Amino acid sequence: MVIRENKMLKHLWQLILQARCPLCQRPARQTFCLDCQRQLQQCQTQSAPLIPETPDDLNILAWGHYGGELKRAIAALKYEDQRAIAQPLGQWIAQTWLQHPHHPQRVGVVPIPLHQNRLQQRGYNQAELLAEHFCRVTGLPLYAQGLKRHRNTQPQFGLSLSQRQQNLAHAFVLGSDRQRLPRHIPILLMDDIYTTGETARAAQQTLIQAGFKVWGVLTLARTYRLTETPATGTSSPNQHPAN
Ligand SMILES: [Zn+2]
């Protein structure tokens, strides 16, 4: 009788302690439940990642397109203190990097920083969390404080091109890792979302002006303009999420 009661208690505790999916609160054996995991995988860009030759030679590589469940996961990561999500997402970004045929063998990884005010508000930089897990898989060196955001820019949403550029002009300076930043290998910028590219270009400019080489930017998600089609074909294009 006692053994049976113990077993029941144990089962009850297992139910209580069982991890919940951060996106739907249903029990999950891994970070996400099977259903959310499947929906997230549908956001992955299936074909060779898009790397446009931009005039400033900024390569762009993204795991998936910003929409559907991935949009939901990014919101949870940023605004709901669900930092555990960064682990699988950072690992998926690493797979995208490792499977890409033209990625350089060695790069120094620098996450796009948040301004101090936003960092204090949120308690962490989501791009840095993704970069940490990315670097654990790839073995690439992380320079978490390679850049510092010294201007608290307003969200890019709703601004015109010139307003966005003005908003980000001189937004970044070298951070406290400036002495450690590598000069013999290019820098890989990392962010959660790539939208218009102005943030990445502002960060690139700061590094280039200081004499560093920048390979490009690697993100979890990117938006597509209305004229572009994401390779997954599962959702419509999205525009300008808030920072
Ligand atoms: Zn779920």
Q: Within a domain: residue 199?
A: yes
Q: Within a domain: residue 235?
A: no
The Å distance, Cα 7 to ligand 1 centre, comes to 28
Q: Which pLDDT value is given to residue 3?
A: 63
- With H, G, I as helix, E, B as strand and everything else as coil, classify residue 94: helix
The Å distance, Cα 70 to ligand 1 centre, comes to 12
* Helix extents (H) in 31-100: 34-41, 68-79, 86-99
Q: Distance (Å, rounded) from C-alpha 151 to C-alpha 171?
A: 5
CATH number of the domain where residue 111 is located? 3.40.50
Q: Pick the closest to residue 131 from 218, 210, 4 (CA basis).
A: 218
The Å distance, Cα 97 to ligand 1 centre, comes to 26
The boundaries of the domain holding residue 156 are: 45-222
Q: Within a domain: residue 14?
A: no
Q: Within a domain: residue 26?
A: no
Q: Pick the closest to residue 61 from 117, 27, 102 (CA basis).
A: 102
The Å distance, Cα 68 to ligand 1 centre, comes to 13
Q: Pick the closest to residue 210 from 193, 234, 187, 227 (CA basis).
A: 187
Residue 116 main-chain phi, psi, to 5 deg: -50, -40
pLDDT digits (tens, 9 = 90+) for 117-146: 999 999 999 999 999 999 999 999 999 999
The domain tally of the chain equals 1
pLDDT-derived band at 232 (thresholds 50, 70, 90) equals low
Least confident of 31-40, 41-50, 134-143: 41-50
The Å distance, Cα 126 to ligand 1 centre, comes to 20
Neighbours of 109 (CB within 10 A): 23
Residues, CB within 5 angstroms of ligand 1 (ion): 21, 23-24, 33, 36
pLDDT digits (tens, 9 = 90+) for 207-222: 999 999 999 999 999 9
